[in-house]
Structure 1
């Protein structure tokens, strides 16, 4: 079976990196069926580079050039409608893929006899973090956890290593649009979307291979201060709670308990008071009582919170 790969690329003012991103796909023996690139009204040399690649690969590259800057989430909404491959993968304009990534995805799909048109699967390669110093760290998935937690539960617990690569056509048909107010939530709006999408997953497919490379220190999150990120995370969690109550999000009891724990933990980090401490302790106890597997992590987080509270009290006394 010939597998048609769609690569969806979003970019904005990434003339320094876009060549590496595209070459990581186009310089391989197995070429993608299509690369759809959404440029969000770049003002540097990005568009000139994109048009050069379009001239060189006219049958593969499709350009979606926004006439004004619409933001990352609207840009994503724009390009997904053009994808028609069997397996869909996303790629940011400042990231890239490791060599033979498409070939390795094909091998796994063939070995496991997966039909992208029928099964809602997601391939789970290692995500590589590329630091500004040049050091690379391969973030491996733990296949044992695939049987212990749902996909949503893995995301909540930061055990889900995927950059939206290797999405089957059957699963991609469930891809939800980003909400029009996603920019108000901030950088963590993609977590809301990620979880809404993950609830439709039938099969997480482990890949013991490095795939997407995430360039650390370059994206929007890298330019956002810690407090703003924490507030954005809180907004995202509260939105997920709302979607659960409105039946837009399916959560089992364990995952719902964990969502409430994350909300309590974030609330405590944004403001320590008696009420927030009691809410956090209660949420922690509910999670640990319901799932033994969560006890080590929750215990460590509780210890961190206690240390933070003691530190703040000491600073208050000293001042």
Structure 2
């Protein structure tokens, strides 16, 4: 069999209520190229595995399975999946979402084939609310200057996973990639170093709102995971200094918003490298300088700095 032009990568865990619709939305695609479907199943506790095995039996040449022997978690399962294809392009989505346009893949592949300066193509989606209502996307807003890595770094993830087709150009992922709670955003940042992003204003997929692990997290935890992902991206040293500085600024904004909630354990989590360490340290240094200015006005600047540093060390890293 020839190497397929496109690999559809579908990640799933405990999606028994949704996985059939996800797979059927792949099978309905009309394309004029060789392709395959790869499903990574993370040892579900429901009937998800039985369902994907059923489809594998029906389509043995088209469907490939990655069946984890034990639950490895979404990060490792995702990494195993995304590193498997040898194809030129990858389309990725999760087992609780599905596609609605049978020409979705053809449209995106056609664009990428004729526009080599673009590394990723994404599109509008509709949201399926828990009550069954399908509505316009109210979660993300795609900015005007969406194509560049600088915008992606500054504004965060405005790309829904079921909308993505990208060039399979990453030879090896940094070790930090598997640690990231936002593997999709990390992936888009890696890709955006080598080209532009294209947004198609066609609604060709459904994203289930309020279903996934990410949706279930509190606002603080979502923002902590975002800041942690930024810290990991900075730590991997794959990015130019201006991009890293933008990500460090976003970490500082997280600290400003949640400085009264974040504890030593979470601060240690963010402390992925010297650059992030300095960012955290400088934030609290400047913050404490302001807070202490009235109470220790009579002290010398040297004494002031010493007292501030002792307070920061006690809060962040001293046992």
TM-score normalised by length of structure 1:
0.69
Q: How does 1:265-284 map to 2 (within 5 A)?
A: 265-271=253-259
Structure 1 residue 14 displacement after superposition: 0.7
Aligned pair partner of 2:210 in 208, 214, 217: 217
Pick from 191, 197, 201: which aligns with 1:204? Answer: 197
How far the C-alpha of 1:209 sits from its partner, in A, is: 1.1
Instruction: Tell me how far 1:62 sits from its aligned partner.
Output: 0.7
Contact 1:38 1:65 in 2 (8 A): yes
Q: Based on CA coordinates, which of the two structures has the bigger radius of gyration?
A: 2
Deviation at 1:231, TM superposition (A): 2.4
Deviations 1:91-137 (A, max 9, x none): 1011111222xx2442455467627xx65521121133222132322
Displacement of 1:277 after TM fit? 11
**C-alpha spacing 1:230/1:113, structure 2 compared with 1 (3 Å):** closer
Pairing 1:264–2:244 present = no
Does structure 2 retain, via aligned residues, the 8 Å contact 1:127–1:210?
yes
Query: What are the residue-to-residue correspondences of 1:1-319 with 2, within 5 Å?
Result: 4-30=5-31, 33-100=35-102, 103-107=103-107, 109-110=109-110, 114=114, 121-133=119-131, 134-138=133-137, 144-146=144-146, 150-158=148-156, 160-163=158-161, 165-168=163-166, 171-174=167-170, 176-177=172-173, 179=175, 182-183=178-179, 187-188=181-182, 190-200=184-194, 202-243=195-236, 247-252=237-242, 255-271=243-259
Whether contact under 8 Å (1:21, 1:95) holds in the other structure is: yes
**Gap change, CA 1:249 and 1:268, over 3 Å in 2:** same
What is the alpha-carbon root mean square deviation over aligned residues? Answer: 3.3
**Structure 1 residues 128 and 156: CA distance shift in structure 2, 3 A:** farther
Q: Distance in 1 between matches of 2:151 and 2:201?
A: 21
Q: Does the C-alpha gap of structure 1 residues 229 and 108 become closer, same or farther in structure 2, counting only changes over 3 Å?
A: closer
Distance 1:260 1:75 in 2: 28
Structure 1 distance, partners of 2:171, 2:118, is 11
Alpha-carbon distance in structure 2 between the residues aligned to 1:214 and 1:158: 18
Instruction: Give the secondary structure class of the aligned counterpart of 2:55.
Output: helix
Aligned residues: 261
Structure 1: runs of 5 or more not aligned: 280-319
| TM-score with structure 2 setting the length | 0.69
For 1:304, the equivalent position in structure 2 comes to none
1:251 CA displacement: 4.6
CA contact (8 A) 1:192 1:240 kept: yes
Inter-CA distance 21–235: structure 2 relative to 1 (3 Å threshold):
same
